[in-house]
């Protein structure tokens, strides 16, 4: 199996998920929630049937069973004693608070900023955030690939003898801090946007960088904690994103009700991500 095909699999998965998110709102608005829920159930059953069919066709049931260890490592004490772990954890915690508000509030902001806009156009910024996230996360994964343990250093295109390789690379620590900082700066465009074009520009930029740090985290964790179980290391770090995912939009909404100012709310979440980038720079 070629390197390019291996990279294509998760990229295709992300693209299918993001494209589904992009069109789901329009179908829900047009046909109502009940047919939409029924369609979702049918699609879920079809997805399970497709996986079973794929497994049967390619003989995955005949694959050797995975090796089982005597115990599962959930938390490695050595990782908790490392200063870099807590810097990464704090970076993720602050960054996650600003990750979901664009998905929740960008359509509301568009309707209030552009009077008379049609329902179809009002969801376009949300669709662009999802769509550009596909490219942002895929490009980030390709750029940090040479540093990933156990993977080839280059991504080949075509036959092996052609020697066409992607040689661009970015060190994961710099990429992690950089995308968080760029996401924080993108909120400034939204904070001062007063036209539909500016909102679309923000949607594209934030989609490229807003959640890209999650694609970089596994590789960064593997090279930062080489002696720690990779799954346990990433799992412990992702836990710190939970408060932001649960309460980020809630905090944004309450701040909006108290201040009545989009600018103050957006500068607040931009500050959260800037703090997250600051912690990441010292990893």
What does the pLDDT profile of the chain (283 residues) look like in tens digits?
444 444 445 555 555 555 555 555 556 666 666 666 676 677 777 767 776 666 555 555 555 565 665 566 677 777 888 899 999 999 999 999 998 899 889 999 999 999 889 888 888 998 899 889 888 888 887 788 767 665 555 544 444 444 444 456 778 888 899 999 999 999 999 999 999 999 999 999 999 998 899 888 888 888 888 888 777 888 889 889 989 888 888 889 899 999 999 999 999 999 999 999 999 999 8
* End-to-end CA, the chain: 35
> pLDDT tens digit string along 198-224?
999 999 999 999 889 988 888 888 888
- Structure tokens, 254: 């309450």
pLDDT recorded at residue 45: 75
**pLDDT tens across 67-122, in order?**
665 566 677 777 888 899 999 999 999 999 998 899 889 999 999 999 889 888 88
DSSP states of 106-137: HHHHHHHHSTT--HHHHTHHHHHHHHHHHHHH
Q: What are phi and psi of 150, to 5 degrees?
A: 85, 0
Surface-to-core class of residue 212, CB atoms within 10 Å of its CB (0-12 exposed, 13-18 middle, 19+ buried): buried
SS (H, E, C) 175-212: HHHHHHHHHHHHHHHHHCCCCHHHHHHHHHHHHHHCCC
pTM of the model: 0.72
């Amino acid at each position: 199996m070629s390197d390019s095909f291996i990279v294509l699999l998760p990229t295709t998965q992300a693209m299918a998920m993001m494209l589904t998110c992009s069109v789901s709102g329009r179908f829900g608005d047009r046909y109502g929630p009940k047919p939409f829920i029924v369609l979702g159930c049918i699609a879920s059953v079809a997805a399970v049937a497709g996986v079973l069919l794929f497994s049967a066709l390619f003989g995955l049931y005949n694959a050797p069973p995975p090796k089982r260890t005597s115990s599962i490592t959930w938390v490695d004490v050595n990782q908790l004693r490392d200063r870099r772990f807590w810097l990464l954890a704090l970076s993720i915690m602050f960054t996650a608070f600003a990750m979901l508000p664009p998905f929740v509030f960008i359509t509301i902001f568009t309707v209030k900023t552009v009077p008379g806009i049609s329902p179809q156009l009002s969801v376009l910024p949300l669709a662009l955030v999802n769509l550009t996230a596909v490219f942002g996360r895929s490009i980030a994964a390709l750029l940090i690939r040479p540093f990933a343990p156990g993977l080839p250093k280059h991504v080949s295109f075509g036959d092996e003898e052609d020697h066409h390789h992607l040689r661009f690379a970015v060190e994961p620590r710099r990429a992690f801090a950089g995308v968080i900082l760029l996401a924080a700066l993108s909120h400034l465009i939204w904070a001062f946007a007063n036209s539909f074009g500016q909102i679309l520009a923000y949607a594209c930029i934030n989609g490229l960088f807003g959640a890209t740090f999650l694609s970089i985290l596994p590789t960064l964790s593997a090279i930062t904690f080489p002696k720690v179980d990779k799954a346990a290391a990433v799992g412990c770090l992702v836990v710190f994103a939970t408060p932001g995912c649960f309460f980020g939009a809630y905090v944004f909404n309450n701040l909006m009700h108290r201040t009545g100012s989009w600018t103050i709310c957006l500068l607040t979440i931009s500050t959260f991500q800037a703090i997250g980038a600051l912690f990441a720079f010292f990893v």
